Structure 1
């Protein structure tokens, strides 16, 4: 019997897996990639009796591969907060799916493990730009504002590492970063002792400084659009820059378009934090687009679709 863990390479996927394996220690095959590499189940080969856990990747983008694995006799449990499409009804399928805009996958796993690894769920919620949900979940931890700020920084840095066109853009392969998290039951110990955290924090601060120097290319009362160049730092910072913009101006929607070397753009959209809706609706209008109500993206927006995207952005957010 194989044990296979399939997880998104961002803070939510990393911390979801970390919670589960702290609670259910086991060695497993790891399947992951950059945050936008969400069609991960197609890389999984499994047989009858194999056990697969899937964390923080949209079921709708993996349905054919999921059906194949279930038909092969594998058992699959699935934790996610993205729009799933039709959810299979199968004796070997165990779904834990909630698309509420204030829920992330790690908060679902936190419920599953009955709060035994709560601090890591809080880290993930901060990383997923769910600061209010993170602080609410953190109440039983009885931590100071300074300590919560440390958990927020860790979440943002883990999330930052997930963004990039390829693994070469990232500071760490998410599978390697998970292995560095694995010895630490306490996130404060990871913050204090891990060289990886210091590497990510330094990179985050440097890349963010370059991003905040960029002015909006389109700015209206309802929202702002930013264009970043086809450079590694821009690909790494695109998503967390969108998160920061949303926090700074919670009544506005934001889009960050990062140019791709071969042409076109990677797009990150953040709905107004004051009304978390519309991001998935906007991005799903375009090929390779999807996400959730509060935050969504497009993996490849052709230059020919740029005008349509801007028009759609200001149609939904007006």
Structure 2
């Protein structure tokens, strides 16, 4: 058995699962829940657990993530097969779940993505949008998720929730973040019909096979029932900001052939039939949400409770997201 990776006691885990000797490695790239490759030499799994240390209420619910993945298995949205949920924190120090290991590439590097060539990059980006359309077309009741969230008043609660999480992780003053918070709350759009929302939908949160098709959509920790345009706004925001955080956070939209924000919006609108006239608000909200997430990571980093590379640079990104959110609101 190899040494324990941070946040995982392999001896206790082996005894709990009843497997042979386990080996595991932390999968780099995540900025929140911790993800590990796990094997007993025969079977391969992926294990997910909350981050070490500071955890905001409801932000890292393993049971919810496990439930939504299980519900979507076999749907038009590809997800791994769930294996086991353990909510008892005594085993490894936190709740966790296992799912099958799915082969595929998580594209986080624009240079590696660019090697596919602009035609393949464009086709992959189109498939990314089409998969989001497919997700938002799923009837929650048909997959057993009718009670997975409270769509009524969703946007107002979201602004309030992320504002509270900002307060819970506040360790410094960030210029403009309170203005962005207040303006979002004062300019709420009317939501379309509710849908299953991923909550962090972007290219590096999916696995892509050798045929450039998506083999699995991952990282469902923020999923719920709500306004589907929040997913679109987030995807557009990441695309628009790609050049500003390349090298620190994923900048795959810089790869030649990757469509711009307006093209992503157009394809989503054509596929879903939804009105996207107010998408600028959703881009601004996505910017606020990511600013809060990164501020929370910066908070944990300052306490020495965050695992992985690059966290020393996260704090500097927060003002960029705030600025982008304010600009999106002012330009419309």
TM norm structure 1: 0.28
Bigger relative contact order, structure 1 or 2 (CA pairs below 8 A, ≥6 apart): 2
